[in-house]
A = this chain, B = another copy of it.
């Protein structure tokens, strides 16, 4: 470490106090990866501010020294968004972990970016309150990360992604200035909606330090239904029908046969689910048990009419948990089975079957296997390309080719290249498939308006930054 570097660290320590800087190799390795497959970009330094003022101090110093700063939550991201691909510092928000204010009267909470989402949800649930976004990483991911990526999860089907629940933000600009957007108001058209602009901007415009969230009362009853289908097209077709018929499931997930087969290596799976071509997992929620049961049986009848396969209706909490463990077991089961590359595809609901067929064809052409599952109600399927028996270099070439063809197919079907994982580092080349040059130019102009020096999370979203 050179003298200038040592002086800078001393200055940082001076501003933040002791124990807020990590520069050992082990730490830098740890903060140099996330949950994306095979990425590693070590930061020069990891900084752990514990207040908004400290975040501001860090950014001020970084701006002065023109050091790139990459904000980071828990590192559960799936597109490399929190990795310092251009070096510099990682600014972890993990110590900004206070729930600042819970306004029970108005169903609003203000929490810092480093609060673990699941902790927040449980704390709220204890009081009968509900904050719906539920990415699979909920027990480790941080609120700030969910805002950066506009995280969603199964219940986005009824409740929408993170952006539907954020009323206001506190954030710090690349130059260290603290600002606020929005507020507590549920309706607000006072100036441009910078809250919405920051959500999903992947830490490239500002570092979000706290958020004001709208809450609702917790639904008191949930019913889960698993519907097996004898063929894929029928399962996919049922998805659009659910919404046309006016049902409003909290979650509507599709699992194709191969996904369930892989889970069945680790968990007990009911026979009708492991033997069918595709299943829909639905959750209904509300406050009236009889009403939900009636809706569940109407749903099963309306959708499963043409099949002899018995639907599973789960009422007990433990039965429901068992069902959803199957769904949540897919990603780890794939990970355990093979090297893989996950594509976060979105298409119109009516194109779900076309998407899966295209994925299978593209994968087969490259001697890969495609396994699709996910948030069918939102048209958002995670298509996993599996390596199988391919050698490392073959795998690298073929998966890249297949992934591009897959996203081209998605764009042709009127969809988009990421529903909830973000563009980050890994998806940059696909963004032009769904954004024209003028739109991309506007995005770059917005980036410059917020961060003219290009210090904040450089290298992300855009191909040439």
Contact = CB atoms under 8 A, between A and B. Distances in A.
B187 A246 contact: no
5 contacts: A104-B244, A152-B187, A161-B189, A185-B347, A446-B446
Interface in A402-459: 414-423, 427, 431, 434-436, 438-440, 442-443, 445-450
A240 interface: yes
A220 interface: yes
A7 B243 CA distance: 55
A288 interface: yes
B217 A183 contact: no
Interface in A215-256: 216-220, 240, 243-246
Given A439-B180, A449-B442, A420 B189 contact: yes
Contacts of A187: 152, 156, 161, 346, 375, 378-380, 419-420
Given A179-B436, A183-B415, 4 more contacts: A183-B416, A190-B431, A191-B431, A194-B442
Interface stretch (A197-205, A263-271, A317-325, A334-342): A197-205
A416 to B, nearest CB: 4
A164 interface: yes
Given A173-B438, A348-B108, A438-B177, A191 B244 contact: no
Interface of A: 103-108, 149-150, 152, 156, 160-161, 163-164, 173, 177-181, 183-194, 196-197, 199-201, 205, 216-220, 240, 243-246, 287-288, 291, 346-350, 375, 378-380, 414-423, 427, 431, 434-436, 438-440, 442-443, 445-450, 461
Contacts of A450: 442, 445
Contact of A163 (B184, B196, B421): B196
Contacts of A349: 105-106
Contacts of A193: 150, 163, 196-197, 199-200
A348 B105 CA distance: 9
Among A152, A194, A378, A447, the most chain B Cβ lie within 10 Å of the Cβ of: A194
A154 to B, nearest CB: 12
A179 B442 contact: yes
Chain A interface mostly: loop
A152 B379 CA distance: 27
Among A149, A185, A434, the most chain B Cβ lie within 10 Å of the Cβ of: A185
A443 B191 CA distance: 7
Contacts of A423: 189-191
A375 B346 CA distance: 35
Nearest to A421: B189
A180 B436 contact: yes
A240 B184 CA distance: 14
A194 B443 contact: yes
Given A181-B439, A184-B414, A243 B107 contact: yes
Contact of A188 (B190, B244, B346, B440): B346
